[in-house]
Amino acid sequence: MVRTKILFTKLISPELLEKEFGTDVEVVCKPTLQIELTSKNEISAQIDESVHQFIVTSQNTVNAIQGLELNGHFFVVGKKTAEKLKAQNRKVVLIEDYAEDLAPKLISGNYSPKWNFLCGSSRRDLLVNELSKANQEVNQIITYQSEQVVYQLNETFDAYAFFSPLSFKAFHQQNEISESSRIFTIGNTTTSAIQEVYPNHEIITAQTPLVEVVIENIKKYINDKK
C-alpha cells in the first residue's frame, strides 16, 4: 500500500502525530517560520502601566509574557491562546476565533478606549486600523519576531498544511504545489493568501482555527481516499 505523504509547515508534537496517523501515513514537519521571543525586560519597558486592557492574538505572545506581572483583562484571538493565558492565571474576558470578530466587540463593548496590544513583528493591520478608526488608542508591544525559513523541497506530498499567511509565503518562494495535491489551512486568513497564488487548488480550511481541527480534516481526506 502506498503511504499518504503529508507536509506540516510547523513543528507538531510527535506524540500527537503518531496517535492521530499511526504508521499508514508519512508525516514530515518542516517549519517555514522561526520565532524569536522578545526579552521580558524589553516587553515590560514598553507596556503602558496606566492601561489595564491587553490584546493577545498568538500563543507566541503567551510564551513571551510567561512570568511577567500584567494587571488587567485580556482580550484574545484563539481558544488555545486563551487556554494558555488562563493557565498563567490571566483574566481572560473575551475570546474570538478571528481578529475580524474581536475588533467590533472591543469597539462596541463597555471598555476603556486604550489598549496594550501584545503582538508579533508581522502582525496584520486589521485590529490596529479598526480601533484607530474608532478613535481608540493602541500601544503596540512586539513580543516576538517571525523570521521566514526558506527551503526547497526535493519531493512532492499528497497534502500540505499551512498555519499562517507568512508561513505560506516563505514556502512559496522556492516551492510549487501540484493541483493534484490537497492543501489544508488553519483558518480563513491563510486560505485567502493561498488562493491568491492557487485559485484552482482544493483548499480545506479548519472551521475552528486549531491544529487538531486541521489534523481531523487531513484524516478525513485520507479515509475518503481509501
Query: How far apart, in Å, are the Cα atoms of 125 and each of 1, 73, 129?
Result: 47, 22, 6
**For residue 64, pLDDT beyond 90:** yes
d(C-alpha 57, C-alpha 142), whole Å: 12
Model pLDDT for residues 169-179, shown as the tens digit of each residue: 999 999 999 99
Mean pLDDT of 123-149: 94
What is the CATH T-level fold of the domain 4-32+149-225, as seen in this structure?
Answer: Rossmann fold (3.40.50)
More confident residue, 226 or 223: 223
For residue 26, CA distances in Å to 37, 65, 195 come to 31, 36, 26
The residue extents of the domains of the chain are 4-32+149-225, 35-146
Q: What's the CA gap between 54 and 44, in Å, rounded?
A: 13
Residue range 125-139: mean pLDDT, rounded:
95
Q: Which residue has cell 492521530?
A: 20
Whether 35-146 and 4-32+149-225 are alike in CATH topology: the answer is yes
Amino acid letter for position 218: I
Q: Does domain 35-146 have CATH number 3.40.50.10090?
A: yes
